[in-house]
A and B are shown apart, each in its own frame.
Chain A
Amino acid sequence: MFKRLDGAGPLVTVTVDGQALQLPGGMPLAAALLHAGIATFHRSVRAAEPRGPLCLMGSCFQCVAVIDGVANQRTCRLPVRAGMAIELCVPPVPEDAA
C-alpha cells in the first residue's frame, strides 16, 4: 500500500505478534508498519472494528498498539528500536480502567 521514495536505511529486527520482522531503525513505527503492508493496528473498543493510523501527528490515538507489554502506545510517535515487541489488533485499554 505504501512505498519508499529513498533507499532503505539500516534495518533492525522487531517482533510483530511474535513473528520477527525487519524494519528501518529510527523511523516512526507507524510509518514503518504501513510500509511493511500493515494498515490495521488495533481493534476498536466496542465494535472491534479494524483501525489504523489517521493523523500521524500524535493527536488521534488511532495508531495505538501494545509495545513491550505497555498498552495504548502511539506508534506514530515511537521510533523503531531493535528488539521492540509489537502486539497488534489488541483493543486499547479504556483510560479510566488503566
Chain B
Amino acid sequence: MSAKVVIVGAGPAGANAALALARSGIASVLLDDNPHAGGQIFRPREGGRLPLLGADTRGETLRQGLRHHASLIDHRSGHEVIAVYPGPRLWVAAPDGAYELTPEHLVLATGAVEVTVPVPGWTLPGVYTLGGLQILAKSSAIVPAGKVVLAGTGPLLYLVAAQLVSAGVAVTDVVDAAGFPTAGQLAGMARVPALLLRGIGFELTLRRHGVAIHRRSAVVEVVGDGAVREVVVAPVGDDWAPLPGPRTRLAAGVVGLSFGLRANTELTQLAGCDHAHDPVRGGWRVRREADYATSVAKVYAIGDGAGIGGVDTALAEGTILGHGLTRRLGATAAILDAEATEAQRQISSLTLFRRALHDWSGLRPGIFSIADSRTMVCRCEDVTAGDIDAALDRGLALPRGLKLGTRAGMGLCQGRTCGPAVQERIARHSGVAVPELPMPTVRVPLRPVTAAMLASLAPKLPGE
C-alpha cells in the first residue's frame, strides 16, 4: 500500500503535523495505537466526564480538526507500528490483521515513556508509575481508594499529586529526589511564566490539602507481602544516592513511582537514524537537522519522541514540520508561514525553560544505587541487580553480551522498562559514561505477534 506521507503518533506533535499538511491540501496517513487521537496528554475520558482533573480544550480542538480534515487525514486508531525497515517500509498491527506501508515520507512522533528506577520491593502489585495512575484517573475515572504515596521527581510528580488530591484521593506524602528549586532555576523557569505559575499552583494545592512534601528524599524500599503495605523513605545527597541516617516509614496501599520522561526512540532506531545522548532532553534522542530531518533520507522526527520538550514544544514542532514538508512536496505554504515563525519563537523560550527544569529535576545517577543485589531490575525475565553485576564481572560488558548472558531486556517489554537502569549499571561497572556506551538495542517485531499476523505479512517479508 502506498501513501505519500505517513505519520506515526497522533499526539500533539503528530496530529498537529497532519493538520498543518492538510491545510496545504496534502494528504497523510496518521497511525496511533490508542483508541483516540491526543497522545499522552490530551487523553479523552472514554464516555462520561471527569471532574477536577484540569480540563484542557486543546485536545478536543485537535480531534475536531482531524475530523474536519478527514478527507485528507486518514487517522487509523488502534494501529501499532511493530517494525520499520529501510525504504522506509513499515509493518502495522491493526485490530483486524497486519499490513505493510511504504511511504515516501515518514514522520515519527511517538512521544515519551516514563523512566523507572528499580528499588527493593518495586515489583509488588500496587506500585504504578505516576503516569500510570494519571492514565487510570483520566481515561477510566479510577483512582486509589486508600492511602497513597507518590515518589520520584519532575513536574509530573506534582501534577499527578495535585490532580489526585483534587479528585479526593488520600495522597499523604510526596517524595521528591530533587530539592526546592534554586533562585537561578526559578528564574530559568520564569522564561515561560504560564508554566512556572502552573507549578506554583500544584505546590499550593498540595499544601492546602496538607500533603507532606519530602524533598531531597527517595523511597528506598517498598514493603509488603503480595501487596504494598508501606514505603521506607530516606534523604538523598547531591547525586541522589541515599544518605545514612534515620528512615521514615509511611503506610500506603498504592505507590506512584517514576522519575521523569525519556524519548521513545524505538522507531527512529529501527529506521536506522543516528542518535546521541542529551540529558537535558531526557537522554538518548535522535539527531535532527533544523527541519527535523533525521540522518536517514525522508525520515523525520518530532515531539517528545525526538527529545523531551513538553506539549507546547510538541505542538510547535508539528506545525514547523508540516510547513517544511509542504515546501519539500512542492506546495505553497503561505498560510503556514506566520504560524511557523511564531512556533519557532515559542520553541526558543521553551528551550530555556527546559534547561532550568533539567537542572532542577533531571535524573542523577546516585538514585540507581538504591537497588541492592536482590532487587529485580528486569521484571520481564526476573534478572536482579546482582545477576547483572555478576555478568559484568564475567566480562559481558556490551548490551548484547549482557542481554544474552542474563536475559535482561530480552523479555516481553524488550528493555523499555529496565533499559536506563541496566545502562547505568554498565557505566558504573566499566567506568565508561552512559553517553559513550552503545545505545540499548531494539528488535523487530516490537510487540509479540500472532502466527496469523505474520501470515498476512509473509508474502511481502522484506529481506533484512
In contact, A5 and B141 (Cβ under 8 angstroms)? yes
A47 to B281, CA, bound (A): 36
Q: Beyond A45-B382, A72-B448, A77-B33, is A53–B50 a contact (Cβ under 8 Å)?
A: no
A3 to B135, CA, bound (A): 14
A53 to B124, CA, bound (A): 10
Prevailing SS type, chain B contact patch: loop
In chain B between 158 and 186, which residues have their CB closer than 8 angstroms to a CB of chain A?
Answer: 167-168
Q: Which residues of A contact B416 (CB under 8 A)?
A: 59-60
Q: Which residues of B contact A58 (CB under 8 A)?
A: 33
B145 touches which of A2, A9, A70 (Cβ 8 Å): A2
In contact, A72 and B135 (Cβ under 8 angstroms)? no
Contact with A along B10-54 (1 / 0, CB 8 A): 000000000000000000000001010000100000111111000
A47 touches which of B129, B382, B411 (Cβ 8 Å): B382
Closest to A5 in B: B141
Contact with B along A19-47 (1 / 0, CB 8 A): 00000001110011011000111001111
| Residues of A within 8 A of B (CB-CB), count | 46
A54 to B256, CA, bound (A): 9
Q: Which residues of B contact A31 (CB under 8 A)?
A: 136, 139-140, 142
In contact, A39 and B126 (Cβ under 8 angstroms)? yes
A47 to B374, CA, bound (A): 12
In chain B between 79 and 118, which residues have their CB closer than 8 angstroms to a CB of chain A?
Answer: 113-114, 116
Contact with A along B322-353 (1 / 0, CB 8 A): 00000000000000000000000000000000
B143 touches which of A5, A52, A95 (Cβ 8 Å): A5
In contact, B46 and A55 (Cβ under 8 angstroms)? no
In contact, B113 and A59 (Cβ under 8 angstroms)? yes
Q: Is B388 an interface residue (CB 8 A)?
A: no
Q: Beyond A3-B143, A5-B167, A46-B382, is A56–B132 a contact (Cβ under 8 Å)?
A: yes
Q: Which residues of A contact B463 (CB under 8 A)?
A: none
Q: Is B270 an interface residue (CB 8 A)?
A: no
Q: Is B254 an interface residue (CB 8 A)?
A: yes
In contact, B48 and A95 (Cβ under 8 angstroms)? no
Contact with B along A55-98 (1 / 0, CB 8 A): 11111111010000010100001010000000000001011101
Q: How far is the CB of A66 from chain B (nearest CB, A)?
A: 13
Contact with A along B406-424 (1 / 0, CB 8 A): 0000111100110000000
Q: Beyond A49-B123, A62-B379, is A28–B113 a contact (Cβ under 8 Å)?
A: no
A-to-B contact residues, CB < 8 Å: 1-7, 9, 26-28, 31-32, 34-35, 39-41, 44-47, 49-62, 64, 70, 72, 77, 79, 92, 94-96, 98
